[in-house]
Amino acid sequence: MKSLSEYLQDAEIAHGHLCAGQVLGVRMAMFGLKQLGIHEPEGKDRKRIVTFVEIDRCATDAIMVVTGCRLGKRALKFRDWGKMAATFVDLETGKALRVAATESSKALAGTLHPELRSKNEQQMRAYQEMEDGQLFHSQWVQVELPPEEFPGYKSERIVCTECGEGISYRREVRRAGQILCRACAGERYWKPL
């Protein structure tokens, strides 16, 4: 595994700027992987990790940098829960650790470097210095990962009876003898104009 400062450089490039969220995300992913005993996320452990993220914020980009998990590789799973938390799953051992930022970490970060002008600078510095235990709480968990959730799953495409569009990864809904995509089954986030 790279050092914190190396990962922060990578994160800055990937994310476009360095911010408190990057520091928190890098620390969170480094902590998670370390607990799992995964040391070479860019080398031999490359295909071993699946990460669930529970927020779409700055930290998420940093978690992607450290774990190498990407949405397009199906190794990053997004749950839109608005929580600064992530679960790191080791596909080799089946072990999984959920890590969440403590509510107290923000307030503590604000007190460590009052000499720095902005909140972001205070947090950026403090998040690099605080102990894992001050930043995070974590628990070992079990994550059900059916075959179609695995990054390398070979999926057949099924066609929606209603709209005719193809559906992969068993995302179809079967109802009254019909095969429907999620949109046609009523989960649409858009409506036609």
Q: Name the site residues for Zn ion (rule: CB under 5 A).
A: 19, 21, 58, 160, 162-163, 181, 184
* Cα torsion 133, 24, 71, 169: sign: positive
Handedness of CA 110, 113, 116, 122 (dihedral sign): negative
In whole angstroms, the minimum distance from the beta carbon of 137 to Zn ion comes to: 23
User: Could you give the CA distance from residue 159 to residue 153 in angstroms, rounded to a whole number?
Assistant: 18
Query: Min. distance of Cβ 26 from Zn ion in angstroms?
Result: 12
Question: Which of 30, 38 has the CB closer to Zn ion?
Answer: 30
Question: Which of these, 88, 99, 98, 17, lies nearest to 58 by C-alpha position?
Answer: 17
14 vs 71, which CB is nearer to Zn ion? 14
By C-alpha distance, which of 31, 18, 88, 4 is closest to 54? 88
d(CA 46, CA 67): 8
Nearer to Zn ion, 19 or 36 (CB): 19
As to burial, measured by CB atoms within 10 angstroms (0-12 exposed, 13-18 middle, 19+ buried), residue 99 is: buried
Smallest distance from Zn ion to CB 21, Å: 5
Between 70 and 188, name the residue whose CB sits nearer to Zn ion: 188
Neighbours of 133 (CB within 10 A): 10
Given the complex with Zn ion, which of 39 and 175 has the nearer CB atom? 175
Q: How far is the CB of 140 from Zn ion (least distance, A)?
A: 29
User: Which residue lies nearer to Zn ion by CB, 14 or 163?
Assistant: 163
Question: Least distance (Å) from Zn ion to the CB of residue 7?
Answer: 14
Alpha carbon 159 to its chain's center = 30
Shortest CB 58 distance to Zn ion, Å: 3
